Every structure is written in C-alpha cells, then in structure tokens.
C-alpha cells in the first residue's frame, strides 16, 4: 500500500500553491458552494486544509482513525448546515489537486487517498442529525472517486 505520508510530504513542499489551487478549483467548479465560504478567513482555512491532510495521511498510514477529530469536524459542518451532498465536490476536487501536486501520483495512491477521504467523510457524517441524511443522500466511493448516490431528492436541491 502506498504511503499517504510520503505523498503528503511531496505535496506539502508546495502547500501554499496546493491550498490556493484547491480553493480556486473548488469554488470555480462548484460555485454553489461559495456561500459556505462567506466571511471565512481563507488563509486560516488553507492552513487548516494542509493540517487536515497531514493528520489524515499520518493517521491512516498508522492504521489509526482519529475519530474525535473527524467527529468534531463533522459536528462543525453540521452546525454550519453544510449538507453531506456537497462532500463529493470537496472529495473529487481534493483528489484532482492531490494528483496535480504529487509527482509520483499513481492509481494506487488515488485509491489510498480516496479510501482515507471516504472514511473521514463517514466519521463526519456520523455527527449529522439522522433526520438530515435521507434528504442529502449517501456519499460513497466508487471506482476510486467520490460520487453521490441518490437516496432521495428534495425539490429545489441541486445535483452536481
């Protein structure tokens, strides 16, 4: 299994460019997410993104799930009313940005990062009120990419 920590170290050499590219691509490809970033200190958010990736890589390489950290992150996203249906946009943009910045990117690394991200998402979603999940859908990994599986659809919600 490829090392996520080694991948992260290669990426972190360009952490500012990585975080800028991720943020730019996420909001340009998914403009409907822009309101969630209104009033957000983007420099802090970018630093948090890099810290999150480092923690994710380290914990999954060591076979440890940082449940409290990801539960807390899920609770924060639930309080901000960020629906789980928006997580695939984050995940797919993150995978694309990781691929762009890791010169040793491979199918195996893609699968490893996708698995780690999916587990993080699972832990985060576990902190959402259970009544909110059927409307939002279930997030899952298919063919190594994040995707959204429709469980139900409310009028006025968007599909990506």
Residue 117 exposed, middle or buried by CB count within 10 Å (0-12, 13-18, 19+): buried
Instruction: Determine the pLDDT at residue 22.
Output: 96
Q: Name the nearest CA neighbour of 139 among 124, 153, 121.
A: 121
Give the homologous superfamily in CATH for domain 4-149: Globins (1.10.490.10)
pLDDT in tens, 150-159: 333 233 322 2
- pLDDT grade, residue 139 (50/70/90)? very low
| pLDDT tens for each residue of 69-120 | 888 888 888 888 888 888 889 999 999 999 999 999 999 999 999 999 998 8
Residue in 112, 114, 138 with CA at minimum distance from that of residue 125:
138
Which residues have CB under 8 Å from 155's CB, separation 6+? none
- Please indicate, yes or no, whether the overall pTM of this predicted structure exceeds 0.85: no
Within 10 Å of residue 79's Cβ, how many Cβ atoms?
A: 10
Q: What's the pLDDT at 131?
A: 53
- pLDDT, averaged across the chain: 80
């Amino acid at each position: 299994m490829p090392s996520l920590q080694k991948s992260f170290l290669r990426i972190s050499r360009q952490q500012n460019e990585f975080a800028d590219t991720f943020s730019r691509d996420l909001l340009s490809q998914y403009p409907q997410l822009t309101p969630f970033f209104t009033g957000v200190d983007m420099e802090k958010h970018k630093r948090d993104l890099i810290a999150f990736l480092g923690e994710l890589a380290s914990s999954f390489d060591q076979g440890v799930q940082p449940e409290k950290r990801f539960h807390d992150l899920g609770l924060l996203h639930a309080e901000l009313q960020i629906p789980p249906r928006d997580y695939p946009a984050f995940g797919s943009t993150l995978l694309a940005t990781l691929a762009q910045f890791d010169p040793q990117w491979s199918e195996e690394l893609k699968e490893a990062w996708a698995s780690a991200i999916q587990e993080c998402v699972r832990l985060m979603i576990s902190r959402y009120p259970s009544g909110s999940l059927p409307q939002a859908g279930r997030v899952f990994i298919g063919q190594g990419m994040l995707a959204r599986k429709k469980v139900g659809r409310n009028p006025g919600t968007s599909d990506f």
